[in-house]
Structure 1
Amino acid sequence: MQVVYSDDELLHNPLNEMTGGEWKPYVESPKRLVSIKNFIDRHPEFEVVDPNDYSLGPILDIHRQDYVCFLQSIYEEWVAEGKPAEACLGETFSLPAMTGKIDPEIVRKTANKSASGKMGYYTCDLSVCFVKNTWRATYASAQVAISAAHRLTEAIVSKDKSQSIYALCRPPGHHSSHQMAAGYCFVNNAAVVARFLQNYTFEDMNKAKKPYGFDLEAIRKQKFSTGTATEKKKILIVDIDYHHGNGTQDIFYDDSSVFYVSLHGSPDYPYFTGSAEETGRGEGIGYNINIPLDPKTTTDAIYLDNLERVLNQQSVVDFKADIIIVSMGLDTWHEDPIAGMKGLVDMKTYRKMGSFMKTSASCIGRPVLFVQEGGYTVEKLGDLAGNVLQGYLET
Structure 2
Amino acid sequence: MLTVYTDDHHLHHGRCELINGQLMPCFEMPSRADHVLARVKARELGPVQPPSDHGLGPIARVHSADYLTFFQGAWARWQAMGQDGDLLPFTWPARTLRRVKPQGLHGELGYYSFDAGAPITAGTWQAAYSAAQVALTAQAHIQSGADSDVMGGYFYLNNAAIAAQAFLDQGRQRVAILDVDYHHGNGTQAIFYDRSDVFFTSIHGDPANEFPFFLGYADETACAAIDSYAAEVLVVSLGVDTFKQDPISQFTLDSGDYLAMGARIAALGLPTLFVMEGGYAVEEIGINALTSSPA
TM-score by length of 2: 0.96
Aligned partners of 1:61, 1:96: CA distance in 2, in Å?
29
Residues 1:338 and 2:248 are matched in the alignment? yes
Amino acid at match of 2:87: C
What corresponds to 2:152 in structure 1? 169
1:176-215 per-residue CA deviation (whole Å, 9 max, x = no partner) reads: xxxxxxxxx2100000000001002xxxxxxxxxxxxxxx
Aligned ranges for residues 221-300 of structure 1 at < 5 Å? 229=171, 232-266=172-206, 267-279=209-221, 286=222
What corresponds to 1:135 in structure 2? 125
Amino acid at match of 1:278: E
1:253-288 per-residue CA deviation (whole Å, 9 max, x = no partner) reads: 100111111110122000111111013xxxxxx45x
Q: CA contact under 8 A between 2:89 and 2:109: conserved in structure 1?
A: yes
Amino acid at match of 1:58: P
Aligned length, in residue pairs: 293
Aligned partners of 1:193, 1:96: CA distance in 2, in Å?
33
1:92-140 per-residue CA deviation (whole Å, 9 max, x = no partner) reads: 112342115xxxxxx22xx1x2111111111111102101010000000
Report the CA distance between 1:169 and its aligned residue.
Answer: 1.7
What corresponds to 2:289 in structure 1? 385
What RMSD over aligned residues (CA atoms) do the two structures have, in Å? 1.3
Structure (1 or 2) with the larger CA radius of gyration: 1
Residues 1:316 and 2:226 are matched in the alignment? yes
Report the CA distance between 1:38 and its aligned residue.
Answer: 1.1
Amino acid at match of 1:358: A
Residues 1:86 and 2:85 are matched in the alignment? yes
Q: CA contact under 8 A between 1:10 and 1:33: conserved in structure 2?
A: no
Aligned partners of 1:10, 1:166: CA distance in 2, in Å?
20
TM-score by length of 1: 0.72
2:161 to 186, 191, 199: 191
Aligned partners of 1:315, 1:332: CA distance in 2, in Å?
21
Greater mean alpha carbon deviation, residues 32-41 or residues 132-141: 32-41
Q: CA contact under 8 A between 2:141 and 2:147: conserved in structure 1?
A: no
Q: Whose RCO is larger (CA < 8 A, sep 6+)?
A: 2
Report the CA distance between 1:45 and its aligned residue.
Answer: 1.8
Aligned partners of 1:98, 1:169: CA distance in 2, in Å?
36
Greater mean alpha carbon deviation, residues 129-138 or residues 20-29: 20-29
Amino acid at match of 2:117: S
Q: CA contact under 8 A between 2:181 and 2:278: conserved in structure 1?
A: yes
What secondary structure sits across from 1:260 in the alignment?
A: strand
Q: CA contact under 8 A between 1:10 and 1:170: conserved in structure 2?
A: no
Aligned partners of 2:123, 2:225: CA distance in 1, in Å?
43
What secondary structure sits across from 1:54 in the alignment?
A: coil
What percent of counterpart residues are identical? 35
Residues 1:328 and 2:238 are matched in the alignment? yes
Cα distance change on mapping 1:315 and 1:326 into 2, 3 Å = closer
What secondary structure sits across from 2:219 in the alignment?
A: coil
What secondary structure sits across from 1:261 in the alignment?
A: strand
Amino acid at match of 1:339: S
Report the CA distance between 1:315 and its aligned residue.
Answer: 4.4
Aligned ranges for residues 38-77 of structure 1 at < 5 Å? 38-77=38-77
Report the CA distance between 1:318 and its aligned residue.
Answer: 2.5
Amino acid at match of 2:249: A
1:196-244 per-residue CA deviation (whole Å, 9 max, x = no partner) reads: 01002xxxxxxxxxxxxxxxxxxxxxxxxxxxx4xx4211111000000
Aligned partners of 1:169, 1:31: CA distance in 2, in Å?
11
Q: CA contact under 8 A between 1:14 and 1:86: conserved in structure 2?
A: no
Aligned partners of 2:250, 2:288: CA distance in 1, in Å?
13
Report the CA distance between 1:152 and its aligned residue.
Answer: 1.0
Aligned partners of 1:23, 1:70: CA distance in 2, in Å?
24
